[in-house]
Amino acid sequence: MAQIDHTVHVALGERAYDILIGPKLIEEAGAILAEKFPGRRYGIVTDEMVAGAQLPRLTAGLDAAGLSYDTIVLPAGESTKSYGMLEKVVEGLLSAKLERGDLVIALGGGVVGDLAGFAAAVTRRGMDFVQVPTSLLAQVDSSVGGKTGINSPHGKNLVGAFHQPKLVLADLSALDTLDPRQFAAGYAEVVKYGLIDDPEFFEWLEANRVEIFSGGPARGEAIARCCAHKARVVIADEKETGVRALLNLGHTFGHALEKDTGYSSRLLHGEGVAIGMVLAHGFSNRLGLAPGQDSGRVAAHLQAAGLPTRLADIPGELGSTDELMAAIAQDKKVSRGALTFILTRGIGQAFIERQVDPQAVRAFLEEMRAK
């Protein structure tokens, strides 16, 4: 019997599914899948790093359950979210003769989840898929909610589909093999949920950060609370026509910085989000919306978690402010020229502002670069 510490239900009607959180769910996936989805075949999509660290646990369980599967292994890293890799995964699923009713398993971080989910969405016009997130970021954010996709030379995640998984299995011990820098980057998204609309959760994080990083029971609880938060938002606004945009807190700045650093190891996605959240708080303060002490508290917490919080924390030279502004304008949360940003009135009080003046953003960025 699988040990399940937390279950979060994503109540999306026909597309409803569960997120299971537990210590050994990767080994137990075979048994769980065999029971939930009898008679299916499987296409596992993963990356080279996760294949080394976690794939044997998964295949051992699938073998024990007598399930039939093929495995597609991709290079690790953000540049895998590309047209070429999409083609590779789709063609791999077709070569494996998987049918519409079969299941794709995304075993990995957000890169694998986004790409494999998108490939499942378009193969035979839609195959089912299961998320087995192995990074903290994927467990608390990207594996839930059905946003899938790849990057374009024009910007991140500009090509994709809404395609909900049938099940999410978040295995806590998978995080044991995750690089600590990656763990910290994922933690930025954990903090995000507090900053959006849950000041009590932010406080709880301030009190439990050390235990979350060291792997005590607070880790599973934090993940469950994040999933519950995300599920609530996705249920309210599956296709991001409204409140779901709040989840982009810190992301407009963050995506521009990621683009500028070439999606390289100079800046991980979560690190970009960490800096972006601090910038969003600082910019809101500059606009007279939020108290300066909240910005400081956010920055202090992220910094204590080992995250970068200022433009100057990014190694190497940043592009020009013009380049950053162009990246911000191309981000997909743009409507008719005016910029849309997630701003805030303080910790736990984020809101969507669709009329942000690009000049004010530019001036603020110029100032931040000088720091």
Ligand X SMILES: NC(=O)c1ccc[n+]([C@@H]2O[C@H](COP(=O)([O-])OP(=O)(O)OC[C@H]3O[C@@H](n4cnc5c(N)ncnc54)[C@H](O)[C@@H]3O)[C@@H](O)[C@H]2O)c1
What token pair was written down for 285? Answer: 């303060």
Specify the residue, 230 or 301, whose C-beta has the smaller distance to ligand X: 230
Strand 338-344: give its sheet, edge to edge: 334-335, 338-344, 350-356
- Under the binding rule (CB under 8 A), the answer on residue 120 touching its own copies is no
- Under the binding rule (CB under 6 A), the answer on residue 157 touching ligand X is yes
To the question of whether residue 22 is assigned a binding role by annotation, the answer is no
Determine which helix (DSSP H) or strand (DSSP E) holds 130, and give its type and residue range.
Answer: strand 128-133
Q: CA separation (Å) from 146 to 36, 85, 133, 165, 250? A: 20, 19, 13, 6, 20
Q: CA separation (Å) from 98 to 41, 91, 164, 305? A: 7, 10, 19, 43
Q: Pick what 97 binds: ligand X, its own copies, none; C-beta below 5 to 8 Å, kind-dependent.
A: its own copies
To the question of whether residue 189 is assigned a binding role by annotation, the answer is yes
> Does residue 166 have an active-site annotation?
no
Q: Which one of residues 63, 91, 203, 357 is an interface residue with its own copies (CB under 8 A)?
A: 91
Beta strand spans in 262-318 (E): none
> Does residue 362 have an active-site annotation?
no
To the question of whether residue 135 is assigned a binding role by annotation, the answer is yes
> Does residue 255 have an active-site annotation?
yes
In angstroms, the CA 368 to CA 94 distance is: 49
Q: Which one of residues 27, 28, 141, 260 is an interface residue with ligand X (CB under 6 A)?
A: 141
To the question of whether residue 301 is assigned a binding role by annotation, the answer is no
Q: Which one of residues 71, 142, 252, 309 is an interface residue with ligand X (CB under 6 A)?
A: 142
> Does residue 251 have an active-site annotation?
yes
Q: Pick what 138 binds: ligand X, its own copies, none; C-beta below 5 to 8 Å, kind-dependent.
A: ligand X
- Under the binding rule (CB under 6 A), the answer on residue 61 touching ligand X is no
Q: Which one of residues 71, 123, 131, 134 is an interface residue with ligand X (CB under 6 A)?
A: 134
Q: Please give the angle made by the CA atoms of 341, 346 and 351, to the nearest 5 degrees.
A: 35
Residue 323: how many CB atoms within 10 A of its CB? 13
What token pair was written down for 310? Answer: 């200022």
- Under the binding rule (CB under 8 A), the answer on residue 164 touching its own copies is no
Q: Answer yes or no: are the C-beta atoms of 285 and 295 closer than 8 Å.
A: yes
Binding site for NAD(+), by residue number, is 110-114, 134-135, 147, 156
Q: Give the residues lining the site for ligand X (CB under 6 A).
A: 47, 49-50, 53-54, 76-78, 81, 108-112, 114, 134-135, 137-138, 141-142, 145, 147, 156-157, 174, 177-178, 182, 185, 269-270
